[in-house]
Amino acid sequence: MTDTPQSDSTQDKKSGTLEFRNVVKEYRVRGAHKTLRAVNDVSFTLEPGKTIALVGESGSGKSTIAKTILQLERPTSGEVLIDGRAVPKRGPALKRYRKDVQMVFQDPFASLNPFHTIAHHLERPLRIHKAVEPGQTVDERVIELLERVNLEPAKDIAKRRPHELSGGQRQRVAIARALAPGSRFLIADEPVSMLDVSIRLGVLNLLARLQREENLGVLYITHDLATARHFSDEIMVMYRGDVVERGPSDEVILNPQHEYTKTLLQAAPDPDRLGQMRDEVRASLTDSGT
Amino acid sequence: MSDVATTTSVPPADPAEVDKGKDETRRVRRPVNGKFIIGATMLSLIVLFAIFGPIIAEFDPRNSNNPVLVPPDSTHWLGTTSLGYDMFSQMATGARTSLMVGIVAGLIAVTLSILFGVIAGYVGGLTDEILTLVIGVMLVIPGLPLTIVISSLVPGRSGLLVAVILGITGWAGAAVVLRSQAQSLRNRDYVSASRIAGEKPLRVIGVEILPNLLPLLTGQFLFGVIFAILGEAGLSYLGLGPTGSISWGTILNEAQAGGALTRGAWWWFVPPGIAVALVGCSLALINFAIDEVINPKLRSAPLEARRVRKAKAAARAQKRADRAAKRQEAKA
């Protein structure tokens, strides 16, 4: 067994990488003798303090990448490496990996168990990974985590159940849960797409702040190019399982090379083109009417 | 950006409940279900009878030194049988056996259906195939004949054995439901989240999935109990029940053998029959009440039906009033 001493984890916050190397994931299509290639030879490296945005339409393989990183799916070929070593498949070694890599789900209404209190959701990762500093109780740590994600009054929130919180509050709880084990890498799978537009920025700013404070490596999965540009250092555009374009955020947005990226950019709402579409529709209506 | 802290709980279905929802406990109080009250009252009376009946009964249920076939009077509250047993004592002792058989069989059935159904649904793959096969086999084997065969093979059946037999023959239907429910729960994000947090599979099933199956399990347990009590009564009536112990079913069997009906000894067979029917009825009522809480569609259905009825009645009254007014006009 390749053991990392426990004390490393605090110093390691500054170093270490999560690498995705030549990963292919195929699904068998039920009822047909063929396979669906959801992820086609994708490689990237997640570094502490850096954010990579993964942009693409539904079904382009974004979530499959998230599931593969989190070991909920096994890659057909290729591998996931942490600190240069292959990710363990099971046992205590996999548990240590889970301490390092955590996830925030898209739907805050589905990612919290309706049966359990908020405190339970935060306690479990703390207990499983023994992630409480000496001289601190689990309860104190839970309160601290809730306060870090701006959920006040934390004592009151901890006692509640998920259905008593709003979508934004739940997503903050989910973020706190992902941070609880002391993770180094965070996979955020469309963390704000299910939230009201008015609170999206708040949750995104919170994520950005926590990333700075913890020096997290973040994989930000989204289909919103605007937030991807503001939130991340690098953008990868996926289309039907392939990474069709990648590069520094501004570069990809301002100087798109691939056809699909251009289409995506055109589809984004642009204040300069306000009312343009309406005029187009009206024009075509009057044409066909006369 | 901490101004998102304005909480909104799930909107209550009834606008009248909105104000209540804002109180300190933040819980929407539901009106207590009438079916539940009736069912629970009946059931608790029967349970109290099973607990205290044998204590207050004056006679030993197995003592036959009583006058024979006495109708109910002040000494023998429920009369005596043709062998001189006191019916009240027999009923009280029988209640204990019948309820014990029901509860033990219900527990066994629920445990087995969790073992097979939830594990098949959660684990999937080959395990699922094998467990589903077992469930399928148990499902198509007709329950009562199998029970009859098993209990006729075993000599010297105790009440507990009958309960075990009823338990292991009556779990398959519940397992099918649990399997599909577990399959749906397995793919919920919160289950993935707990796996990502590093929970072990057993804990995922026990702590994340099972609590969300609890309402379903309660209903299945209650139906399991009904099935077992009726099954025990049926088996005993056929002479295949527990030997050497008294239950409502064995009383009915003896009443049949002793020709209670032809002799007009109604006090011999009516009380155990009513008792079995009451237990079944009370458990079914409780079950319906639970169903309504789980499934809000069922809860609002009677209300909607009433609203439609009222609207129709109002329309009819209006029409009648119009016609009367027209007639008045015509006369004038």
Inter-chain contact A128–B198, Cβ cutoff 8 Å? yes
* Out of A44-53, A269-278, B89-98, B135-144, least confident range: A269-278
Q: Mean pLDDT score of chain A, rounded to an integer?
A: 85
Q: Mean pLDDT score of chain B, rounded to an integer?
A: 83
Domain membership of residue B328 (yes or no) is no
Domain membership of residue B213 (yes or no) is yes
Domain membership of residue B23 (yes or no) is no
Residue B225 is part of a domain; what is its CATH number? 1.10.3720.10
Q: Which of A116, A164, A174 sits opposite B26 (nearest CB)?
A: A164
pLDDT confidence tier of residue A185, bands split at 50, 70 and 90: very high
pLDDT of residue A6: 43
pLDDT confidence tier of residue B29, bands split at 50, 70 and 90: low
The A-side interface with B (CB below 8 A) comprises 70, 72, 94-95, 98-99, 102-103, 105-107, 110-116, 124-125, 128-129, 150-152, 160, 163-166, 168-169, 174, 177, 181, 198-199, 201-202, 205-206
CB contacts of B208 in chain A (<8 Å) are: 113
pLDDT of residue A177: 93
- Give the mean model confidence (pLDDT) for residues B252-275: 86
* Inter-residue contact B57 to B89 (CB < 8 Å): yes
pLDDT confidence tier of residue B57, bands split at 50, 70 and 90: confident
Q: What is the ipTM of this complex?
A: 0.82
Between residues 54 and 73 of chain B, which touch chain A (CB distance below 8 Å)?
none
Cα B114 to Cα B176: distance, rounded to the nearest angstrom: 10
The torsion angle over the Cα atoms of residues A245, A231, A187 and A267, rounded to 10 degrees, is: -50
- DSSP per position, B100-154: HHHHHHHHHHHHHHIIIIIHHHHH-HHHHHHHHHHHHHHHHS-HHHHHHHHHHHS
pLDDT of residue B30: 60
Residue with more model confidence, B20 or B102: B102
What A147-153 contacts at long range (C-beta under 8 Å, 24+ apart), as own/partner pairs, is A148/A176, A148/A179, A148/A210, A149/A173, A149/A175, A149/A176, A149/A179, A149/A206, A149/A210, A150/A206, A150/B1, A150/B2, A150/B5, A151/A176, A151/B5, A152/B2, A152/B5
Most confident range (mean pLDDT) of A7-21, A274-288, B159-173 is B159-173
- Say yes or no to pLDDT of B133 above 70: yes
Tokens at A280, concatenated:
């187009």
- Say yes or no to pLDDT of B143 above 80: no
Domain span at B189: 33-294
Domain membership of residue B2 (yes or no) is no
- Say yes or no to pLDDT of A41 above 50: yes
Smallest Cα–Cα separation from A3: which of A86, A71, A93?
A93
Kindly give the pairing relationship between strand A51-56 and strand A217-222: parallel
Tokens at B226, concatenated:
């009904």
Q: Indicate the SS3 state at residue B33.
A: coil
Q: What is the DSSP letter of A57?
A: -
Q: Which residues 6+ apart lie within 8 Å of A53 measured at CB? A: A220, A221, A222, A228, A229, A231, A232, A234, A235, A236, A249
Cα distance from N-terminal residue to C-terminal residue, chain A: 78
Distance from CA of A105 to the nearest CA of B (A): 7
pLDDT of residue B14: 46
Between residues 281 and 310 of chain B, which touch chain A (CB distance below 8 Å)?
none
In total, the C-beta contacts within 8 angstroms joining chain A to chain B are: 85
B2 to chain A, any CB pair closer than 8 A? The answer is yes
Q: Which of A151, A163, A177 sits opposite B9 (nearest CB)?
A: A163
Cα B197 to Cα B297: distance, rounded to the nearest angstrom: 35
pLDDT confidence tier of residue B190, bands split at 50, 70 and 90: very high
pLDDT of residue B136: 92
Domain membership of residue B236 (yes or no) is yes
pLDDT-above-70 percentage for chain B? 89
Q: Which of A70, A115, A164 sits opposite B196 (nearest CB)?
A: A70
pLDDT digits (tens, 9 = 90+) for A81-102: 998 888 888 888 888 899 999 9
B22 to chain A, any CB pair closer than 8 A? The answer is no
Domain membership of residue B307 (yes or no) is no
Tokens at B304, concatenated:
């909607």
B187 to chain A, any CB pair closer than 8 A? The answer is no
* Inter-residue contact B118 to B176 (CB < 8 Å): no
Cα B261 to Cα B167: distance, rounded to the nearest angstrom: 32
Domain membership of residue B311 (yes or no) is no
- Give the mean model confidence (pLDDT) for residues A264-273: 74
Inter-chain contact A166–B4, Cβ cutoff 8 Å? yes
The distance from CA B144 to its chain's CA centroid, rounded to whole angstroms, is: 19
H-run or E-run covering A83: none
CB contacts of B9 in chain A (<8 Å) are: 163-164
Q: Indicate the SS3 state at residue B10.
A: coil
Q: Which of A98, A174, A199 sits opposite B4 (nearest CB)?
A: A199
- Give the mean model confidence (pLDDT) for residues B217-231: 90
Q: What is the DSSP letter of B326?
A: H
Backbone angles phi, psi at B174, to 5 degrees: -65, -35
Taking residue B129's Cβ as centre, other Cβ atoms within 10 Å add up to: 10
pLDDT of residue B306: 81
Smallest Cα–Cα separation from A188: which of A164, A224, A154?
A224
Tokens at B92, concatenated:
């009280």
* Inter-residue contact A194 to A170 (CB < 8 Å): no
What A171-174 contacts at long range (C-beta under 8 Å, 24+ apart), as own/partner pairs, is A171/A104, A171/A108, A171/A195, A171/A203, A172/A203, A172/A206, A173/A108, A173/A112, A173/A118, A173/A121, A173/A122, A173/A146, A173/A149, A174/A104, A174/A105, A174/A108, A174/A111, A174/A112, A174/B193
Sketch the domain layout of chain A as residue ranges: 46-74+88-265
- Say yes or no to pLDDT of B299 above 70: no
- Per DSSP, what are the bridge partners of residue A240? none
| A46-74+88-265 maps to CATH 3.30.930.10 | no
pLDDT digits (tens, 9 = 90+) for A101-154: 999 999 988 899 888 999 999 999 999 998 888 888 899 999 999 999 988 888
pLDDT confidence tier of residue B307, bands split at 50, 70 and 90: confident
* Out of A156-170, B25-39, B238-252, least confident range: B25-39
pLDDT of residue B296: 62
- Say yes or no to pLDDT of B295 above 90: no
H-run or E-run covering B177: helix B172-186
Domain membership of residue B69 (yes or no) is yes
